[in-house]
Amino acid sequence: MSTGTVDHWNPNLEEQCSGLHAACESLEARRKHGLNQFLEAGFPGRKDEEWRYTPLRSVAEGEYSSKLSVEGQLPGDDELATSSDIRLVLINGRFREDLSDLTALPDTVKVVGLSRSLETSADSVVTDLNRWIPLVDHPFQNIGDALLEDGLVITAEGNVDARIHIVHGQDGSESAGSSHVSGLIRLSGGAQLEVLEEFRSRGKSLANIRWGMEIGSGCEFRRQRIVRPGCDVLYHGTRVELGEKAVFRDLIAGSGARLVRNEIHAILAGPGGHVDLLGGYVSNGDEIVDHHTTIEHAVADCTSREIYRGVLGGDSRGAFTGMIHVHQDAQRTDAEQSNDAILLSRSAEMNTRPRLEIYADDVKCTHGATVGELDDDSIFYLRSRGVSLEEARRMLVRAFTAEVFEELENEALKEQFIEQLQEAMPTAVDLRQ
Amino acid sequence: MSAHENEEKMILDVKDLHASVEGSPILNGMNLSLKPGEVHAIMGPNGSGKSTFANVLAGREDYTVEKGSVRYRDLDLLDLDPEERACEGIFLAFQYPVSIPGISNAYFLRSALNAVRRYKEEPEVDAVDFLQLVRSKMELVGMDEKLLQRSVNDGFSGGEKKRNEILQMAVLDPKLAILDETDSGLDIDALRIVAEGVNALRGGDRSFIVVTHYQRLLDYIVPDHVHVLSEGQIVRSGDKTLAHELEREGYSWLESGHAAEKSQEAS
């Protein structure tokens, strides 16, 4: 992209970066690396294949190049049924212990703000960051590194089954800006952990969030993410490594965000591991939703499943890029990928790019993609039972996305996910005319 | 209105109905009258227009009505949307019921029932009352209650799908039920159960149109009238013995009969 567009970002980043407290040399080095990378590369343009369907022009223009104020308020209401008393609140990228509730946290689970652990044990934290979020040339990761300051470090060890609700609040109501969160989640000794990550936003803001995760042997990590209506720009990156018989179950649901880029890089590094990536979304207006996943089957006998489903109305655009990389030794891999979309308007658009790289010979890999309209036979079936055309469409669209949430055990939460998507549904009848 | 007039009143009166699909004519001047409470069987070879007729009555938009009229009670049926027809008491049991993953059978049935009730300006049924109602109807068709929580027809066997159709019929309580090849794909046991369900719903003013290729179903659902459809027209009508005649002789006589007619016209 032309250097003109990063004119706002570069001086701002340099200034913000140099203003940060340098707790140790390795931290300093990481920030410098990110800054220099960004100064050099800036934001990718549309010609960059990896960013083809995530136009960053509006982001590059610099509106978000300042950090959001420390003073922000948590937008939106607490209405999600979480069945969790453990609640972590981040506002504008800062972990707010004062607004969080850790009283129910079991001894075996530790939660520390990243900025605090950088104060107390900078060297080892940066070593962990370097291990679990390795440096990559990536615009948001580069910015995240340059402004590395706060986030979360969560560890769960041993016989524990806990559930944590993380709320990311973005308050850009005073002035536009960005926030940057780096997080580490590490499970070991057979731990079971479930996290609900909720994104709430007001005003113009860019949330830049990335996680590095280690799911140790025999551990299971379940994550649900919900992008609440009103979010502006959200970049969310996850890199997760799984040990033997480890399980990662991820679910993302969302509607009403201007631009969402969800990246997941999952590495099955121990035999018997399983990765589940599910997503359901509704988009409207000129919203953009881009799911970008890579699953690496590095060893034998692992399974993975991906199901993404979107309902797109207005001029909105969806994209799915799903790489399944089966290494030479990863025999008996079973990988399943599907991406389906329903377009409710003629100007909505869906781009699907499955990518399979298979180097082992005893492998089962399936992928399927459909882009279509609602099924006429199903509509007639419902109408022939007395259900109105509009209601029939609503029911079918609801059913299409609800299937993604079917396995969610928390019934109340499931209902809320489905409801949020249902409410965001464009009135199909108007759009078809 | 006198009692006499009431008796003579038709529930359905089809006159000179012509319908086509994508430009090819399927129905070519269909005439049929049903009185309340009657069961009419429509038989005929493949491609004679049986299913088209059933679907045109239910309002499927794939078919274009070119000509003719359909009077249903006091209504011009062809003027109504499919959902209005359903709410007015027309029910089509599908030959191939659609499966709808993600919508539970219970939710589907309750949505349908409440849509019909809203149309009739009756209060909606709540979950508890609905469950009570649907349970009693499930017994009628010998259906496993587990199928209520499953997605509509999703992974159902052929027999379960057809039973599900009859269950919907029982719940929606139509005035005119149209069974489109309900016997297709059923073994004899499933057929008997489905037929028993239908028979339990017979009586009173409810009328039936039973569309079938084979006479077999009519051993269980005994019709008052049997019509033979060929090339989009009713070519013969009779009582239930006509079905047995067809069973013995097949439909081949139609071809020769028609051929004879045509040659007469030509001469």
Measure CB to CB from residue B115 to each of A376, A378, A386 and give the nearest one: A386
Interacting residues of A324 by C-beta distance below 8 A, sequence separation 6+: A294, A295, A297, A304, A335, A337, A354, A355, A356, A357, A358, A365, A367
Reported as a single tens digit per residue, the pLDDT across B198-244 is 999 998 899 999 999 888 899 999 999 999 999 999 999 999 999 88
Closest residue, chain B, to A400 (C-alpha): B102
CB–CB contact A388 B83 (8 Å): yes
Q: Is B130 on the interface with A (CB under 8 A)?
A: no
Beta bridge partners of B233: B230
**Phi, psi (rounded to 5 degrees) for A236:** -135, 115
Q: Is B58 on the interface with A (CB under 8 A)?
A: yes
Q: Which residues of A touch B86 (CB under 8 A)?
A: 383-386
Closest residue, chain A, to B120 (C-alpha): A386
Looking at residue B254, its pLDDT comes to 74
Closest residue, chain B, to A378 (C-alpha): B98
**Phi, psi (rounded to 5 degrees) for A151:** 155, -145
N-term to C-term CA, chain A:
38
The CA radius of gyration of chain B, in Å to the nearest whole number, is: 19
Q: To the nearest 5 percent, what fractions of chain A are helix, strand and coil? A: 25, 40, 30
Q: What is the ipTM of this complex?
A: 0.93
Q: Which residues of B touch A381 (CB under 8 A)?
A: 94, 97-98, 100
Exposed / middle / buried, residue B187 (Cβ in 10 Å: 0-12, 13-18, 19+): exposed
- Test the B interface: residue of A278, A340, A377, A380 with most B CBs within 10 Å: A380
Q: Which residues of A touch B94 (CB under 8 A)?
A: 381, 384
CB–CB contact A387 B112 (8 Å): yes
Reported as a single tens digit per residue, the pLDDT across A124-163 is 999 999 999 999 999 999 999 999 999 999 999 999 989 9
- Test the B interface: residue of A370, A382, A403 with most B CBs within 10 Å: A382
Distance CA A309, CA A67 (A): 33
Q: What is the DSSP string of B20-42?
A: EETTEEEEEEEEEEE-TT-EEEE
- Test the A interface: residue of B51, B83, B92, B167 with most A CBs within 10 Å: B83
Is 50 exceeded by the pLDDT of residue A302?
A: yes
Interacting residues of B104 by C-beta distance below 8 A, sequence separation 6+: B148, B149, B150, B151, B152
Give the residue-averaged pLDDT of A285-297.
97
Least reliable range by pLDDT among A388-397, B190-199, B248-257: B248-257
Reported as a single tens digit per residue, the pLDDT across A45-99 is 888 999 999 999 989 988 899 999 888 899 988 888 877 789 999 999 999 999 9
Q: In the numeric block, which tokens belong to residue A241?
A: 């490594």
Q: Are strands A233-242 and A192-215 parallel, antiparallel or unpaired?
A: parallel
Distance CA A422, CA A288 (A): 18
Looking at residue A1, its pLDDT comes to 46
CB–CB contact B111 A377 (8 Å): no
Is 50 exceeded by the pLDDT of residue A430?
A: no
Q: Is B92 on the interface with A (CB under 8 A)?
A: yes
Is 70 exceeded by the pLDDT of residue B11?
A: yes
CA angle B205, B211, B217 (to 5 degrees): 90
Is 70 exceeded by the pLDDT of residue B64?
A: yes
Reported as a single tens digit per residue, the pLDDT across B148-177 is 999 999 999 998 999 999 999 999 999 999
Chain A from 336 to 365: CB within 8 A of any B CB:
none
Distance CA A118, CA A149 (A): 8
Ordered domains of chain B (ranges, CATH): 3-266 (3.40.50.300)
CB–CB contact B98 A378 (8 Å): yes
Q: Is B175 on the interface with A (CB under 8 A)?
A: no
